[in-house]
């Protein structure tokens, strides 16, 4: 299994970076730019349709050299090759990690357990395409013969966040006479609000769950079935026309009552948070059509090839990962803000929360030891310019160092007067202000009274990346998602953790199963929790019984 056995902090590059940090930590971006007129052009990279400007980072050529050395000593190249070739790098679940196979061209061969998985990927894609075309053109009818015009995806985590994000991101390309809704929360309000204005006879539910056992999804799916049956006088034969499933678990799908002919499968080598381009993307395909979905897959594949083949010096996901590690492990930064200046990407930060934090929120290394360094950066964000009027104050003048990823596009999909120029002026202004700030002398020159000067100074030296593309298309969305997927993997590889399991979500799930009967029992339960949990359970039961 490819991965170095030397602990991270014992690697030569790590030690050199620690020494180098003490030299460079207070060097200002103003100085770095003043010393090199070409910096803004030089520290850039291109991959697929993405242009990556990382010049506004607190790095010199020496820093970059040492970071790349860190990637090499961490055997990142070997880890990348192991992932792409289907090695079982998810060691705690004994699974290959092959979301890249979901977007591999038909003629590619990727072997898992002695079998080429690419034909099966394309077989599912073909079935999804046929089904999507039938629903979109009205050929697939509901139980009463009405056309399906509403699609409700029921799923949670990776079975929801990717589909919602992609639907919002690609709404411009969607079939506008259809309505798409997404139900995830076990809070009944989510389901009630999603269907309150829908006609069951025109509604198709996609039950999306890798395991088909997730509490939230199965509860919502059962409620959806009751809602449908109530409209068809309990006629169970209606389920066949109004429910399809996306899962790896055929037995559970049939047990739920969905014909496996209406099931779209995927495989255990696709992690939930890496699955939006598998059959989990069925709602996306229904919205934007098979051709656009395939263009999105092609975008993913372009970034896969860039990540797999580009030298680390020009490799965007690797550079992003190394920069994040530089800030996290040497500057002590805890978070990264992702700031898309594109309204259609409004759910992109929420999507990235799961991708990044469920992947790299781990304190145990691949060899089973506790890390003695920070892992798992906190990702958050909002679309620009809304974030500017919310949390940017802290990024500009707070005591935390929060590196930012700005995402912007040359063209708007909805050109309206001067809007787009103003939007782009804002994204450029923010990264400029963060990097260069405003000195005391500049503030004084403006005639600011002395007592107010410190409040109006911007110390600057706050780093950011800018990711730029011509226009948000299905292909560019695929490239952006793959960029972050691979950045997460590169981070995890250097931190020597497994980015592909999620044991940390299990305990809460188990405890909830124990508490549910204690809340529902008609007898007074014998509570054996801590005094806080016992007290809250009693309080809840008292309110419920009022
Ligand atoms: O949150 C834990 C998790 O297992 C995620 O990794 C996954 O995306 C989500 O639950 C949903 O799981 P499933 O698709 O099996 O319902």
What is the domain partition of the chain in residue ranges?
A: 12-74+293-495, 101-290, 506-545
Flag whether pLDDT at 428 surpasses 60: yes
- The reply to whether 362 belongs to the active site is no
What integer is the mean pLDDT of 407-411? 98
Pocket test for ligand 1, best of 97, 158, 271 (most atoms within 8 A of CB): 158
What integer is the mean pLDDT of 226-250? 97
Task: Say what the pLDDT of residue 1 is.
Answer: 54
Q: Which of 87, 168, 358, 518 is catalytic?
A: 358
Flag whether pLDDT at 383 surpasses 90: yes
pLDDT in tens, 131-143: 999 999 999 999 9
Task: Say what the pLDDT of residue 13 is.
Answer: 98
Q: How far is CA 121 from the centre of its chain?
A: 22
Residues with beta carbon inside 6 Å of ligand 1? Answer: 156-159, 209-211, 214, 217, 272-273, 358, 502, 505
pLDDT band (50, 70, 90) for residue 3: low
What integer is the mean pLDDT of 89-113? 97
Tell me how far the alpha carbon of residue 301 lies from the centroid of ligand 1, in angstroms. Answer: 24
- The reply to whether 141 belongs to the active site is no
Tell me how far the alpha carbon of residue 385 lies from the centroid of ligand 1, in angstroms. Answer: 32
Same fold, 12-74+293-495 and 101-290: yes
Flag whether pLDDT at 283 surpasses 70: yes
Pocket test for ligand 1, best of 90, 283, 502 (most atoms within 8 A of CB): 502
What lies within 8 Å, CB to CB, of 193 at 6+ separation is: none
Assign residue 382 a region: left if phi > 0, alpha if psi is -120 to 50, beta otherwise?
A: beta
Flag whether pLDDT at 289 surpasses 70: yes
Flag whether pLDDT at 2 surpasses 60: no
Fold of 101-290: Rossmann fold (3.40.50)
Token pair of 164, please?
A: 């919602």
ipTM for this prediction: 0.98
- The reply to whether 358 belongs to the active site is yes
pLDDT in tens, 314-323: 999 999 999 9
Flag whether pLDDT at 479 surpasses 90: yes
Please say whether the dihedral angle defined by the alpha carbons of residues 311, 317, 318 and 322, taken in this order, is positive or negative: positive
Percent of the chain surpassing pLDDT 70 = 99
Pocket test for ligand 1, best of 92, 95, 159, 207 (most atoms within 8 A of CB): 159
Tell me how far the alpha carbon of residue 156 lies from the centroid of ligand 1, in angstroms. Answer: 6
Q: Mean pLDDT of all residues in the chain?
A: 97
Tell me how far the alpha carbon of residue 91 lies from the centroid of ligand 1, in angstroms. Answer: 18
* Contact call for residues 338 and 381 (beta carbons, < 8 A): yes
Question: Distance (Å, rounded) from C-alpha 28 to C-alpha 57?
Answer: 10
Task: Say what the pLDDT of residue 5 is.
Answer: 81
Question: 12-74+293-495: what CATH class?
Answer: alpha beta
């Amino acid at each position: 299994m490819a991965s170095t056995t030397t602990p991270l902090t014992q690697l030569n590059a790590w030690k050199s970076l620690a020494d180098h940090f003490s030299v460079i930590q207070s060097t200002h971006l103003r100085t770095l730019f003043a010393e090199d007129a070409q910096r803004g052009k030089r520290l850039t990279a291109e991959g697929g349709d993405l242009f990556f400007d990382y010049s506004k980072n607190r790095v010199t050529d020496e820093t970059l050299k040492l970071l790349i050395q860190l990637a090499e000593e961490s055997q990142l190249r070997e880890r990348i090759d192991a992932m792409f070739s289907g090695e079982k790098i998810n060691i705690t679940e004994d699974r290959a990690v092959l979301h890249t196979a979901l977007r591999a061209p038909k003629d590619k061969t990727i072997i898992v357990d002695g079998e080429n998985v690419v034909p099966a990927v394309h077989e599912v894609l073909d079935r999804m395409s046929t089904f999507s075309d039938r629903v979109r053109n009205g050929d697939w009818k509901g139980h009463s013969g009405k056309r399906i015009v509403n699609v409700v995806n029921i799923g949670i985590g990776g079975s929801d966040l990717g589909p919602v994000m992609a639907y919002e991101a690609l709404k411009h390309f969607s079939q506008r006479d259809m309505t798409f809704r997404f139900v995830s929360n076990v809070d009944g309000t989510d389901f009630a609000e999603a269907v309150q204005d829908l006609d069951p006879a025109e509604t198709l539910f996609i039950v999306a769950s890798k395991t088909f056992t997730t509490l939230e999804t199965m509860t919502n799916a059962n409620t959806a079935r009751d809602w449908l049956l109530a409209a068809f006088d309990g006629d169970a034969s209606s389920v066949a026309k109004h429910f399809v499933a996306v899962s790896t678990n055929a037995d559970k799908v049939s047990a739920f009552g969905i014909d496996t002919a209406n099931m779209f499968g995927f495989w255990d080598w696709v992690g939930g948070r890496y699955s939006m381009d598998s059959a989990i993307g069925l709602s996306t395909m229904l919205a934007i059509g098979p051709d656009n979905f395939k263009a999105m897959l092609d975008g993913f594949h372009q970034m896969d090839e860039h990540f797999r083949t580009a030298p680390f010096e020009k490799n965007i996901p690797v550079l992003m990962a190394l920069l994040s590690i530089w800030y996290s492990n040497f500057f002590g930064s805890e978070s990264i803000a992702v700031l898309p200046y594109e309204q259609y990407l409004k759910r992109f930060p929420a999507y990235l929360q799961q991708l990044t934090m469920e992947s790299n929120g781990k304190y145990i290394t691949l060899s089973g030891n506790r890390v003695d360094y920070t892992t798992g950066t906190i990702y958050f964000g909002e679309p620009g310019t809304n974030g500017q009027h919310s949390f940017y104050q802290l990024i500009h003048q707070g005591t935390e160092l929060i590196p930012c990823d700005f995402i912007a596009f040359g063209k708007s999909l909805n050109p309206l007067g001067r809007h787009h120029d103003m939007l782009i002026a804002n994204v450029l202004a923010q990264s400029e202000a963060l990097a260069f700030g405003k000195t005391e002398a500049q503030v004084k020159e403006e005639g600011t009274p002395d007592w107010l000067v410190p409040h109006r100074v911007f110390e600057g030296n706050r780093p950011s990346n800018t990711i730029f593309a011509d226009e948000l298309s299905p292909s560019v969305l695929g490239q952006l998602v793959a960029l972050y997927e691979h950045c997460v993997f590169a981070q995890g590889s250097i931190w020597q953790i497994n980015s592909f399991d999620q044991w940390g979500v299990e305990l809460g799930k188990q405890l909830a199963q124990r508490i549910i009967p204690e809340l529902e029992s008609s007898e007074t339960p014998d509570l054996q929790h801590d005094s806080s949990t016992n007290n809250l359970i009693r309080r809840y039961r008292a309110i419920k019984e009022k």
